[in-house]
Structure 1
Amino acid sequence: MTTNHIEEIFSDYITTDKTQFAILLNGSWGCGKTYFWKYTLENIAKQNDYKTIYVSLNGINKIETLDHQLFIKLLPFISNQENKIIRNATAFFGNVFNKLSSHYLKSSLSEVFKGVSIDTFNFSKYIICFDDLERCQIPVKEVLGFINNLVEHKNLKTIILAHEPEIIKGDGYERIKEKIIGRDLKFELDIASTLPNLFAKYQDNTAFYDFLSGQTAVITDILIEYKQDNLRIISFYLDTLSKIYPGLKNADPKYIQEIILFSAVIAIEYKKGGLPSSDYSDFKDLDIIDEHYYSIHIANTSRKSGKEDSDRVKKYAEVFYERYLEKNVKTYFFYPSIYSYVLSGYFDKTQFEDELKRRYPEIIPKETQAFRALLNYKFRELSDEDFKTLTKNVLQYAEEGKYFIYDYVQIANFFYYFINNKLISESKEEIDDVIKKGLDLAKKQKAINSKILDNLLHFADENPDVTVIKKLVKEIHYEIKKEEYVANGNELIECLVNKDELELSAIFKKHELSKEFFQYADDKLLFEALLKIPNKQLFNFTELLQSRYTSSNIGEFLFEDAEFLSKLNVSLSTYLDENENIEQPRKYLLSSLETGLIVIIDHLNNTRKK
C-alpha cells in the first residue's frame, strides 16, 4: 500500500467521531514505520488539533508497567486546567514529585503511582502510537486487551506499529485482533518521498546536502532496484557517502556514479551480514569483477570443476555478482579504501584519492615515451635519426632523475649493451656517472615497490656491471624503506603526544601484522610519550598492544618485535624502581603495561619459528 493511501486512511480515521477501533501499521523491521509516524502521520494528527503520544512496547513485561508508562507520557499535558479531573491530576502531579524528592528517586514506580489510573483521563483529543508490538514481553493478547479498553471505552484514537510475522500469537489472538484492529495497513517505504527527509540531516553540510539533492534520482533508482526499504541501512549508506564526499568534489561524473553504486552495494551487503568486519582486508575476489567477469571467469570455473553451474558450489564473488551486478556491472569498480571503510570504520583518505586518480586516463610523460621507445628489443627497427635522438633524450631524463629507481637497471642494461656494440659514443664511465646522478635525484621521490625489486633480484645478469647498478638500487630501496618504517614509528609517537584516541586505534589496525611497525621505532621516544599521556590513553595503548599479539602463532610473524618491546620494558621497569611515589592509579597502569610486556615477549618467544 502506498504511503499516500495510508495518509488518506489515517486522515479519515482521526476525523471520524467516536471510533472504537485501532489501526495496525504492519511492516518489516527497519522499514521506516516509526519514521513515517513521527514525520508524516504525527503532523497530520497535529493539523487536526490532536495531541500525540508515542509509547514503545519494547521490553515491557507487565501491564502495570505499561499503564504507568502511559501515565508518565500524559503528565506533560495535565497542566491545562480544563476540568476537575485535570485539576485533580495536577494536584497529584505535585504530590508525585514530593514523593520522588522524599524517596530520593528510590521508590518503585508502582509505589509512587499507587492508586492512580489513566482511566480518569479524557482522551477525546489524543492519539497514541504503540510501537514495537512484536518486541513486547507481555502476551500479545493481554497487550491488545489493554489497548482495546482505551479504544472501545474511551474512543481513543490509536495506531499500532508492528511486524506481524514476528508476533508470538497465543490463544485467541485472531479473535481479539479482529475486535480491536479496524484497518490492517501494509506499510511499504516510499523511497522517493522519504529520501529528501533523510537528506535533511545533512543540511548544515551545505556542499554535501547539495550533492545528495543532485544525485537523488541515481540514489533512488539504486535503492529501489535492490528493494532496500530499511531506513537503518539507508542511513548508514548516506553516512558512508558523507565521509567519502570531500574526495569527490572535483571528480569526473562517471566516477561519481561508480562510487555511489559501489558504496551502496557494499553498505547493503555489510549491514545484511554478508560481509563481516573481519573481512575488511580480504576483498573476497570482489576486486576482479568487471563486465567480462561472468562470461569468462564463471565459465572457466564451471569447466574446470566439471560440473553444471547448478550443481557447483558458487564462490562468494559469483553470488555477489548475481545479487547486485548483473544489470550494473558496467558501472561497477572496486575501491579498496571504501570497502575497508564500510567494514572497519577507518577511512584512508589518501588511499582513496590515489584510487580515484588512477581512474583517469594515463597521461604518458615525454621521458616515459622515450624510455619505452628505446629500451626494448625493437630499438633495432628505429631509424638512425630516431635512435640518436632517443638515446640523447633518455640519458638527459635519466640524469635529471625523472625515472623510477628500478628503471635505472634497465637503462644500465641497454646502454652498456650499446657501448659494447659501439652504437653510442659515450663511455661506460659517462653512463655510470649519469646513472648515479640520476639515482641520487630519483630516490628523493621516495617511490618504492618491493615486488618490482624482488623481480629484479630474481634474475641473474649476463653483465656484472648491471649487477653493480642493481645492488645500488637495492641499497636505495632499503634506505627509503627504513625511512618509511621510522615514519610509521613516529606516527605512533605523534599520535600519543597529540592524545588522539581514535587515531591510535586506527594506527594499530593499519599496521596489524607489520613486522616493521616497531623495528625502526625509537623506544626511548615512545617511552617518554607514554609517561606524558593521560591514564585513559595509557590504558587504551596497553589494550591495543596486547591485542596485537593474541594469535596462538604470532611469533611466526612478529618475533622481531621482541627486541623493541624488551628495550621498552627495561625503561619502564627502571622508571618504576626509581620512582616510588607515583600516584595511583597511574602506578597500577604502568605496572600493568610492564606485566603485559613480559607476557607478550614470552609469547613471542614461545611461538616463534624454530
Structure 2
Amino acid sequence: MNRDEIISQVIEYLQDDTSNSAIMISGIWGCGKTHLYKHYLADEITKLEAGKNKRRKNFYISLYGIKSVEDLSKEVIISFMTSEWNNEKNAKQVIKTADGVASILSKSISFSSNGVGVKLEDLFGKIRKMLKAGDMVICFDDLERSNIQINELFGFIDNLTEHCNCKVILLADEKNIGKMYANTNLENKYLTVLSGGRKVITKDEDKTNISKECLTFEGLKKLCEEVYSENYIYRDIKEKVIGNTLYYTPSTEETLNDLFCAISKGDYKNCLIAKQKFILDKFLLCGNDINYRIVGCWIRKFKKIYDELHREYNSHVYYDSILDNYLIYSIYCICMDMNNISFATGWEPNSYAKRIVRKKSPFDKILAHRFIDEWVIGSRWNKIAFYQSSKELIEAFKRNEELLKQYELDERKHLRKLAEWRSLSDDEVKTFISEVISELAEGLYSFYDFPQILEDLIFFKRLGLYDGNLNEVGKYMHDQLLTCEDEIEFNTISREFVEEDDRAEFLRIYKPLEEEAKQHNLSLGKDNIAKKFDDAQSFRDYCSRQKQFFAEEKCFVGYVGVDMIVEMIKKSSREEIYKITQGIKEIYNFADVSDIFKQDRVYLEELNQKIKEGDFLSDGITDQCAKDTLIGAIDDILVRLSDDEEKQEEA
C-alpha cells in the first residue's frame, strides 16, 4: 500500500467507534514508517479532531529499549500529562503521579493466548479519573525492537484498546517481531543450540569433510533466532489485539521526494531534486529498495561534498561531471557501509583517486576517491584529498575530450567502446578487443592509454572473454615506445585488481615499459622540458599533468633546474607570476611532502634566494605583491619540509 492508501485506512479506523482493536502498519526496516506517521498521519489525525468539542490527543512513543510494562506505563502517562500541563514545573509533578499509576498498571495486567485477565474494577476506576485514556490516539513505534515479552506487551495494548477505548497505531517490521528476546542472554542460548556435538566454523574453512552438525557464525545466529524467537507467540495472539495490518510499500520517487524536502534546503535541495532520477538509479544499483535511513544518512553526508564542490568549482566547465562522479561513489560507499559490507579500497601514499574492480558488480570500474572513503567511514574531511581528486578528474575529463575528438575523426579506435561492455554481446566484446589490439599494433594509442588497455585485457581474460597472448601486447607497446620522439605523458590513475595474480601480471608487463618511458624523458634533457615553460600557463598546466611523475622522481626544482625556472620568471608579467606560483604549489601539494621532496629542499632554498635578489618586474606595489606571493609560497613549502623533518626526528 502506498502513502495515500495507508492514510485512508487509518482515518477509517479512527472514525470507527465500534473498533476496539489496534491497527498495525508493517514495513521493512527503513521504508519510512516513522516518517509517514510524523509527517503525514499525525497531521491527518489533528485535522480529523479539529472542530470537535472533545478532541483526542495524539501521542508517539518508541518502544525501542523499553524493558517492562511499568516503564511503558510511565511513558504513556507522562506523554498524556505533559500535554495537559505543558510546562516544566507541572511535568515534574506528572512524573511523580506516573510512578504511582504505573505501579498499579504493572501489577494489574496479565495476558495469555486464550484471553485477557485484569483486575478491572480497581485499576481502571482509578486511571479513568486521571488519565482519560479514551481521549488518546497512541502510536507505538519499533514494536519489533521492544524488550518487553510479547504476551505482556500485547496485554497492555489490549487493555488500552478494549477497556479504555483508546486508539492504538502500531509501527513494525512484522517478520522480525519477537526476535529481540532471542538476542538476550546469548551466551546461554548459544551453548544450548551448540549442545549435542555441534560446532562453529568460519566461512573460509574447507567444508568438504565437515559434518552437517557444523554451523557458521551466521548460521548459529539464525538458528538461535528460530529456536528462541517469540514470533510464533505473536502469530497466535495477533488476532486478539490487532484488527487490521497494513503493509506499507512506498514508491521510490515518493521516498526520495520526502527526504529531499525534509532534510535538504536551498541550492542543495534543488540540486538533489534535479538529479533525482540519477540518484535513484544509483541507489537501486546497490541491490536494495530505497531505505529512508540509508538515503537520509547519504543526504547529510553528501552535503559537505556538495558545499565544497559548489564553492570551489561552481563555474567550472566540468562541474556537473565532477558532481556526478562524486554522487556515484558516495552512494556506493554509504550503501556498503550501512549494510556492513566490506569495501576497503586500500590507498597507497599520494594516491587520491583510482579505478576499483568489483567483478560482476554494476559499480565495476567506477572511480573511487580517497576523501569520500574517509568522510563516509570516519567522518574525517580531507581537504587536500578533495582538491587532488577534483584536479585529477578535471585532467581526466580533458583527456577524455581529446580522445573523443580523436574517436570522432578515427572510427577504428575501440578502447572507448569497451567501456560499455555490459551492454554488448560476448561476440561484440571479443570483436572490440581484437580491434583494440590491431589498433595498438598500428601505433594508434599513446603511452597514456597503455595501462587502461592492459587492465582491460587482464580483466576480460579472467572473465573468459579474451584468451590472447599478453606478452605479444607488451611487445606492441614496447615497439611503439622505441619510435616515440616527444616527451611521454604518464597516466597516474591508480589501478585496483580483484586478484593479486592480476596485479602481478599487470606490473610484470607495465613496469618495464614505465621505466623505459622515464628513461626516454630523461634522455630528452632539460631543453625539451624548457619547451613546456614557454609561458606561465603552459608551466602551470605542465605541473598539474606531471605532478605524479615528479613525486615518483622525488624532485622537481632540482630536476628541471633552478636557472630554468628563474629565466621563465624574469620574462613573466605580474599575472603570469601568479600562475607560476600556482604551478609550484600544485607540485608540492602532498600531505607527506617531506617524504617525497626531501632532496628538493636545497634547490628550493636556492630558487627562493635568487627570486628575492632578482631584478624583475617593476617597483610598483602590485608587482611587488605578485613577487611576495611567489616568495611566500616557496617559504611555506620550505616550512612544511622543515616541520615534517623535525617531527620525524622527534619520533
Q: TM-score range by the shorter chain?
A: 0.5 to 0.7
- Quote the offset at 1:439 in angstroms: 12
1:223-267 CA-to-partner distances (Å, cap 9, x unmatched) read 345433321110122223322224253445455444433322222
Number of aligned residues: 396
1:461-504 CA-to-partner distances (Å, cap 9, x unmatched) read xxxxxxxx997548899xx9xx989989xxxxxxxxxxxxxxxx
- Quote the offset at 1:114 in angstroms: 6.2
> Which residue does 1:564 correspond to in 2?
646
- Quote the offset at 1:52 in angstroms: 1.2
Distance in 2 (alpha carbons) for counterparts of 1:259 and 1:436:
32
Instruction: Answer whether contact 1:199 1:212 (CA < 8 A) is retained.
Output: yes
> Which residue does 2:376 correspond to in 1?
342
Segments of structure 2 that go 5 or more residues without pairing to the other structure are: 50-55, 106-125, 179-228, 403-446, 448-480, 487-517, 565-580, 602-641
Question: Does the alignment pair 1:123 with 2:133?
Answer: yes
> Which residue does 2:269 correspond to in 1?
209
Give the one of 525, 545, 554 matched to 1:412.
Answer: 525
Question: Does the alignment pair 1:351 with 2:464?
Answer: no
Segments of structure 1 that go 5 or more residues without pairing to the other structure are: 81-89, 101-106, 290-315, 365-371, 381-404, 416-431, 458-468, 489-506, 522-559, 569-600, 602-610
> Which residue does 1:84 correspond to in 2?
none
**Normalising by the residue count of structure 1, what TM-score does the alignment of the two structures yield?**
0.52
Instruction: Answer whether contact 2:82 2:90 (CA < 8 A) is retained.
Output: no
- Quote the offset at 1:27 in angstroms: 2.1
Q: Which one-letter code corresponds to 2:525 in the other structure?
A: A
Give the alignment of 1:73-472 within 5 angstroms.
Answer: 73-79=79-85, 97=92, 110=99, 118-120=127-129, 121-168=131-178, 169-170=229-230, 172-201=233-262, 204=265, 206-224=266-284, 226-246=287-307, 247=309, 249-250=314-315, 251=318, 253=320, 256-275=323-342, 287-288=354-355, 317-318=358-359, 321-322=360-361, 324-325=362-363, 332-345=366-379, 346-348=381-383, 349-362=386-399, 409-412=522-525, 449=547, 451=549
> Which residue does 1:311 correspond to in 2?
none
Instruction: Answer whether contact 2:140 2:171 (CA < 8 A) is retained.
Output: yes
> Which residue does 1:67 correspond to in 2?
73
Distance in 1 (alpha carbons) for counterparts of 2:161 and 2:299:
40
Q: Which one-letter code corresponds to 1:207 in the other structure?
A: D
> Which residue does 1:45 correspond to in 2?
45
SS at match of 1:179: helix
Distance in 2 (alpha carbons) for counterparts of 1:258 and 1:144:
50
Distance in 2 (alpha carbons) for counterparts of 1:96 and 1:210:
42
Instruction: Answer whether contact 2:594 2:644 (CA < 8 A) is retained.
Output: no
Distance in 2 (alpha carbons) for counterparts of 1:435 and 1:219:
45
- Quote the offset at 1:440 in angstroms: 12
Question: Does the alignment pair 1:10 with 2:44?
Answer: no
CA RMSD of aligned residues (A): 5.3
1:88-139 CA-to-partner distances (Å, cap 9, x unmatched) read xx9xx98874698xxxxxx897369766964443334421111111222210
Q: Which one-letter code corresponds to 2:340 in the other structure?
A: G
- Quote the offset at 1:220 in angstroms: 3.0
Distance in 2 (alpha carbons) for counterparts of 1:211 and 1:44:
30
Please, which moves more after superposition, 134-143 or 169-178? 169-178
Call closer, same or farther: CA 1:65–1:279 in 2, change over 3 Å: farther
Call closer, same or farther: CA 1:283–1:228 in 2, change over 3 Å: farther
Please, which moves more after superposition, 67-76 or 48-57? 48-57
Distance in 1 (alpha carbons) for counterparts of 2:324 and 2:284:
16
**Normalising by the residue count of structure 2, what TM-score does the alignment of the two structures yield?**
0.49
Instruction: Answer whether contact 1:96 1:113 (CA < 8 A) is retained.
Output: no
> Which residue does 1:35 correspond to in 2?
35
Q: Which one-letter code corresponds to 1:55 in the other structure?
A: I
Distance in 2 (alpha carbons) for counterparts of 1:45 and 1:73:
17
Distance in 1 (alpha carbons) for counterparts of 2:42 and 2:74:
23
Call closer, same or farther: CA 1:438–1:146 in 2, change over 3 Å: same
Distance in 1 (alpha carbons) for counterparts of 2:325 and 2:649:
49
Distance in 1 (alpha carbons) for counterparts of 2:153 and 2:343:
37
Distance in 2 (alpha carbons) for counterparts of 1:450 and 1:476:
23
Distance in 1 (alpha carbons) for counterparts of 2:648 and 2:323:
49
